[in-house]
Structure 1
């Protein structure tokens, strides 16, 4: 509040209207309040929404040149994120995600590096339909990884290097790569596409996939091997793990009706996301609604399941408010004003180097600060590229480069992924706390009971309640 009032009282800078400056003050105050954990994130956004409407910054009934107070809730990208999160709940509820992960581990799990590749393939298969690193990494991969590590006596502490540390780092890095490969693999990706669309750059599911598939696959192939070389597990051979995964699959039995319907539903969704817009004129958000409707008609998801998914509805609300505020900053000229200042800073170099500089600045400011604030404030970087000297930069290429880089802060930032979260001493702890506050989410995961016989010793991993936090 103090920060917002302070900015409000500062005279409006040249080149901006008072309304634009006051909107920026409210936006900054909102972000600071979220970071400081003054209230829950949704509550902070509700207060900001109220102030915005009360003082006419975003009127309920917008006129020409205005941004509507509730316009964020009409944003199709917000609903794509929310519906995809509801769909991801079905993957966990039916056990399909666990089955997919166990299948790949049963095939590749004879070596510890093969276990990492098994997790990579499972994440790659599940990524397009689960827009949450927490849901994939924390809800599906982590319980299996923990069972594997515990079976070999690898616990946090002196025994972590046996297997657990290697697998935890591998999963977190792999999950981040998958987040960048698919438009629907991370909640922030559709937002990036929406921001690019506001600047006249259309980013479809297919174009995103085509742009990321080659570097993504190369990274998925290289990363486990590279990690295995520089941070090797003490246990190299793991034939028992493949047998364990096959045993777990046998205990699960054949695919249930719900899993089969869900698999068919996901295949249909992928087809609609890839060619639906071009061939049938079906928007990606409408496709997501179709997928959810199928699950409801077939009783795989009930209305009770949907209304109980608090994380999805919470995300829809605060994302809608923040996107509305970011849209107002763009419409009122704040983004263009900032962009001109940044463009002047790279005005003396060619567009190739300018693009590299802007992407590096964007990436490392995300690492040092937190992703949501910069994701919502990402418009200046796209505009800067379009305005680089020489006008030779391709807006589409620049937008895709920025979009794919947006999710890659995880490998560079300890604590940015649910599997790797650990406290840090000193001033870094405060930075991580700020990061977690804004992008963290609590995801209750019921750890499955797993029994595994290793070297004549039977060890039971008891089920418990695990709280996982991580980026959406």
Structure 2
């Protein structure tokens, strides 16, 4: 006899009560807001809290929110359903499928082994080589969780164990702890550097557009290039100094990588095709704005090539549950966030906050908003939920306070990734890498707190100056 699914009904309590309190507080709403705008706010807040407490998977929470939004007539069904046609969200889904090609063909693993063989003399060099692989894969892997958990983590674990570093034997500090934490931070940085490297980035792109700011793949990449490269160079070294591995030299790493490559054999035809398709997609993303090929269309082209050549099957696409799950809940959250803006709630909120910051230099306002965005992430277990909840409002406040619109949109977009340097539940890769047992929670939080300050300094100072030099603002 089939049993019912396990549903955590108690976790419905906080979002439900919060939503009801706000809904019935409608008579107390600010005079500038319509009843519909306030109801949309109540539903949105309840949904975001539901995404945090997760009585059901986030996709199911989003479906419930969609149903309630249309059932209460807050948004007409025909208008609400258009959220599923958002191009930025389909870009995420398509890039999920492309990343499946890296995993299925083994190309991602092969690239990692080649890097280890080339830079594997010392443990610090290993960390840089592994992060280099993450950097190469990032533009075509919008799931930083798939990149860190599906490709990088198994390789790091195997490498650490090959050198006798295993938390089960209390030898995690030999090498594994350092490599695991360095990969986590490297993944955080690479996620910030490319529009297509983390699922929340196209969401930020979509929310920025509702504030009349058009973010493109190339301007995101160019703006994040210098602060990103500086972070990639400095952060692993800082970790190496404050959390040093016991094994400093790794002369056997090359031999280990050679053995792994021999097991894989020669480069296969699927790997060669995957390489060509990846290069084509990367080139189109880079020059797309000049030849008028949309980034989402580029992703569709890449998937089409993978299907036509047989690298992926349609079953592979159907079984890529992460893509379909993301497509569902992102669509709902984007629809709700867009409605908040269209109904006037976000403009009202931004003007209210901006008035309290009036008289301040616009750069000070930007710093205050970024710091607020960063440290409020301690309250979130999902980067995307956090971006959905705060990005649009903070961007509107920044623009109202005189911060150059493109600078504000990009800086908040970057920190929609960098705020992962907070907790062990801050983003998808965090629980996977932390759950490996190589890094204790106290160490994770302490080092994240230090590196969080490093990111704030580098990206707000160097990043702002660099964006001025290249004409972003």
TM range (shorter): 0.7 to 0.9
User: Which of residues 218, 233, 254 is equivalent to 2:266?
Assistant: 254
Change in Cα spacing, 1:381 to 1:220, as seen in structure 2 (3 Å) is same
Partner in structure 1 of residue 322 of structure 2? 311
Change in Cα spacing, 1:412 to 1:29, as seen in structure 2 (3 Å) is closer
Partner in structure 2 of residue 412 of structure 1? 422
Superimposed CA distance per residue, residues 12-70 of structure 1 (whole angstroms, 9 cap, x where no aligned partner): 33211000111111111222223232222222211211121122211123xxxxxx111
Contact 2:199 2:384 survives alignment (8 Å): no
* Alignment partner of 1:129 is 2:143: no
Contact 2:52 2:380 survives alignment (8 Å): no
Q: State the alpha-carbon separation in 2 of the partners of residues 136 and 331 from structure 1.
A: 35
Q: State the alpha-carbon separation in 2 of the partners of residues 192 and 34 from structure 1.
A: 18
Question: SS where residue 120 of structure 1 aligns?
Answer: helix
Partner in structure 1 of residue 399 of structure 2? 386
Q: Normalized against structure 1, the TM-score is what?
A: 0.85
Once the two structures are superposed, the pairs formed by residues 269-288 of structure 1 within 5 Å of their partners are 269-279=281-291, 281-288=292-299
Partner in structure 1 of residue 19 of structure 2? 4
Contact 2:165 2:173 survives alignment (8 Å): yes
Q: State the alpha-carbon separation in 1 of the partners of residues 298 and 200 from structure 2.
A: 18
Q: Normalized against structure 2, the TM-score is what?
A: 0.85
User: Which of residues 301, 314, 320 is equivalent to 2:331?
Assistant: 320
Partner in structure 2 of residue 115 of structure 1? 126
Deviation at 1:359, TM superposition (A): 1.0
Q: State the alpha-carbon separation in 2 of the partners of residues 341 and 365 from structure 1.
A: 20
Partner in structure 2 of residue 347 of structure 1? 358
Q: State the alpha-carbon separation in 2 of the partners of residues 333 and 52 from structure 1.
A: 17
User: Which of residues 16, 25, 30 is equivalent to 2:33?
Assistant: 16
Partner in structure 2 of residue 263 of structure 1? 275
Partner in structure 2 of residue 72 of structure 1? 83
Q: State the alpha-carbon separation in 1 of the partners of residues 374 and 305 from structure 2.
A: 39
Aligned residues: 416
Contact 2:140 2:197 survives alignment (8 Å): yes
RMSD: 1.6
* Alignment partner of 1:60 is 2:77: yes
Contact 2:207 2:334 survives alignment (8 Å): no
Partner in structure 2 of residue 207 of structure 1? 219
Superimposed CA distance per residue, residues 292-329 of structure 1 (whole angstroms, 9 cap, x where no aligned partner): 00000001111111111111101100110111011111
Q: State the alpha-carbon separation in 1 of the partners of residues 159 and 206 from structure 2.
A: 40
User: Which of residues 57, 67, 81 is equivalent to 1:40?
Assistant: 57
Superimposed CA distance per residue, residues 237-257 of structure 1 (whole angstroms, 9 cap, x where no aligned partner): 111111110221122122111
Partner in structure 1 of residue 160 of structure 2? 149
Change in Cα spacing, 1:5 to 1:368, as seen in structure 2 (3 Å) is closer
Once the two structures are superposed, the pairs formed by residues 153-192 of structure 1 within 5 Å of their partners are 153-156=164-167, 158-192=170-204
Q: State the alpha-carbon separation in 2 of the partners of residues 241 and 59 from structure 1.
A: 60
Question: Which one has the bigger helix percentage?
Answer: 2
Structure 1 unmatched ranges of 5 or more: 62-67, 429-472
Partner in structure 1 of residue 256 of structure 2? 244
Structure 2 unmatched ranges of 5 or more: 1-15, 446-473
